[in-house]
Amino acid sequence: MSSARNTSRPCRPAWTQERFDHELAVTLGYAVDPSTTLAYTSALNSYLDFCRIHHFPIQLTSDTFAKYIVFMQTYIRPKSISSYLSGICNQLEHLYPEVRAVRKHPLVVRVLRGSHRRCGAPATRTEPLSREHLRFAADTLLPDSSFDDSLFLAQLLVGFYALMRTGELVVPDRRDLLNHSKLSMRHTVNISPDNITFSLPRHKADKTFQGDRIDGVPADRIQALGRWSSDTWKIYVRKHPALLNTFLLAK
């Protein structure tokens, strides 16, 4: 007579509280990209310095946030303050769950709006790249002048026509921000007489680890290609010849 099969699941050992704390801390570190974490940490440090200098408690209140805004508007633009507040909320939310509600408090919203009107300045943007700029770069940086010049020219052309972020074309100077899983490999490159395509395995906004295939696309896919979560991308195509041509042909 054969013995009955044991169909029960294997017993998993219980974790200690220290193990839970460690795993939570590590996993929370993966919630945002390392480059974003660096910016958020800088914002948090500015808030901690503000509290230390003025002897305010670290626990967030609408009054403390409002005072932080009027203090920081002396040093940075109100638009940057909004980004700082987002970073502070991200870094302190696990300690103070109410931080998002404090950020949306009417006092904080009104003070930030007043800061924009009092200390804000018109948005200034550099002249967008055009094909004339590319021709000038190609004529100035001769392909055989140096490896660095040739590399820069290649990045300039690829970034222009593929709407890529600068960070997706270069290796970061800081070694702690280098992520080899984001690097495009040479074996993914496919060159034809009409275009060049390659694989971007991962990027900052990729939460599904699917990556992107970089090539020419119609206008209705520009937002997806650029990994934009809103219509903000439209301000960058005002004078982009390749994109304007795409829009005209689509009509």
Could you tell me if 38 and 65 lie in one domain? yes
Among 76, 94, 119, the domain-final residue is 119
Element (H, E) at 191: strand 190-191
How many whole angstroms from its chain centre is CA 154? 23
Could you tell me if 28 and 82 lie in one domain? yes
- Spatial contact of 215 and 225, defined as CB atoms under 8 Å apart: no
Could you tell me if 153 and 79 lie in one domain? no
Q: How many domains does the chain have?
A: 2
- Spatial contact of 69 and 112, defined as CB atoms under 8 Å apart: yes
Could you tell me if 53 and 110 lie in one domain? yes
Vertex 97: Cα angle to 94 and 103 (nearest 5):
115
Of 53, 41, 138, the closest CA to residue 87 belongs to: 41
* Lookup: tokens for 66: 């409002």
Could you tell me if 23 and 65 lie in one domain? yes
**Number of neighbours of residue 72 by Cβ within 10 angstroms:** 21
Domain hosting residue 62, numbered range = 19-119
CA torsion angle for 33, 34, 37, 41 (degrees, to 10)? 180
**Tens of pLDDT, residue by residue, the chain (251 residues):** 445 555 556 678 888 988 887 888 778 767 777 777 778 888 999 999 999 999 998 888 999 999 999 999 999 988 899 999 999 998 888 888 899 999 999 999 999 999 999 988 777 777 777 888 888 888 888 766 678 888 888 888 888 887 787 878 888 887 777 777 778 887 888 877 777 787 887 666 555 555 666 665 444 555 555 555 666 555 555 444 444 454 444 44
- Separation CA 222–CA 161 (nearest Å): 11
Vertex 34: Cα angle to 104 and 148 (nearest 5):
125
**What backbone phi and psi angles, to 5 degrees, belong to 239?**
-125, 20
